[in-house]
Copies of this chain bind each other. A is one copy, B any other.
């Protein structure tokens, strides 16, 4: 592909190089979490830092600026896709160039050190031991935000790295009514009798994971399924998607729901059109958009009442018998709890709202790190009606802040909301999926997502993408319609 515009060709070559290096970074990360012997960790840290430094140098180089300038002058003849490519290249380059080299290196160091300190502090249930590292991360995040003079709130600059175009104000606008409605539903659910948890033998879980992934379209010629302590997905190439899950004896069928969730991430990247591959447009557009894909598969397929007989029959083939409606009740039961990652689908976003409120306050300086544990307990009481017994099961439970990742949390809840919106629209367009799901057939779902979500790659940011797919911006109502029955089951 030669365009007749040397600056565009040069830019495309650089973007292809950066895409390849990003794939190698994902490969190294996947290997580290699934295959690498533990002794390999120190060398891998150096290898990853070297690769990261090279990527940074190539992504911030002056030559990109020169090509962009040339294209700004004579770029009127660009096709639509190339115009998007140039637009995003400019945006990415300008953002990364705003960060002084020393600040970037301080951020990386504080992130690595913060995670180490957090691990020990959490194990010792000792917030005071973690506080200085957290304070350092907050200060650096504020310094990072201060590099951007075009934002209304410093938090917006952080959010932009995960979900470009969203703002603290917009998220608050969405989360306010959501939290109110969900807290009321959670209180309602707390009055109802508890649903007994299932205990599913791990062999049956394994058999069902394999069978269900095969139903969704996971084939060994271009997918891998491995184990990792925290399930994740890595897309090493368009036809090389690697998901993981985990098997726990006391987590019902978390292994199955996690595998379906990760499949959603993988499918998003695979169904981005080949012509966007090895450009800056050829990946999922944001954390929220990605999470909407994983949550759509997890919540709307995996937890669909008509899919329960399919899961039950695959468990049966693995030697475990459960009635489909008992299974469905168990995986949709509402019970306010302390830990985000094991929260039920209804109360999950409340955990996120709490974290969003607190991190915005930390970044704007209206909350001191020392006051964080008390604010956490207050929030848990107010939102979920639960008492926090200690910091290990409270403010120390998540790794994100220890790594300096402020602005990441909202995507977990926004993903749930967007998933529900997409699902309603999908069924409006393609018809109710009850019958297809009962037959284990997800072809129409895959096709609708390819056409209405995946095909854009990064060409649309989060909220414009939601608008293009559903005709309106992010809206909590479909999610509330989806989970309300769970509170009253």
Contact = CB atoms under 8 A, between A and B. Distances in A.
B238 A43 contact: yes
A236 B38 CA distance: 12
Contacts of A21: 50-51, 54
A366 interface: no
Contact of A28 (B16, B27, B223): B27
A223 B37 contact: yes
Nearest to A223: B37
A237 interface: yes
A236 B20 contact: no
A40 interface: yes
Contacts of A23: 43, 47
Interface string A43-75: 110110011011000000000000000000000
Interface string A221-243: 11110000000000011111000
Contacts of A392: none
A35 interface: yes
Nearest to A224: B37
A24 interface: yes
Contact of A47 (B24, B35, B44, B54): B24
Given A43-B237, A43-B240, A31 B37 contact: no
B37 A239 contact: yes
A36 to B, nearest CB: 6
Contacts of A239: 37, 39-40, 42-43
B40 A222 contact: yes
A254 interface: no
Interface in A314-366: none
Contacts of A28: 24, 27
Given A23-B47, A31-B27, A237 B40 contact: yes
Identify the 8 closest CB pairs spanning chains A and B, nearest first: A43-B237, A40-B240, A39-B222, A39-B239, A20-B50, A20-B47, A40-B237, A37-B222
Interface of A: 16-17, 20-21, 23-24, 27-28, 31, 35-40, 42-44, 46-47, 50-51, 53-54, 220-224, 236-240, 278
9 contacts: A17-B50, A17-B53, A20-B51, A37-B222, A38-B221, A39-B240, A43-B238, A43-B239, A46-B278
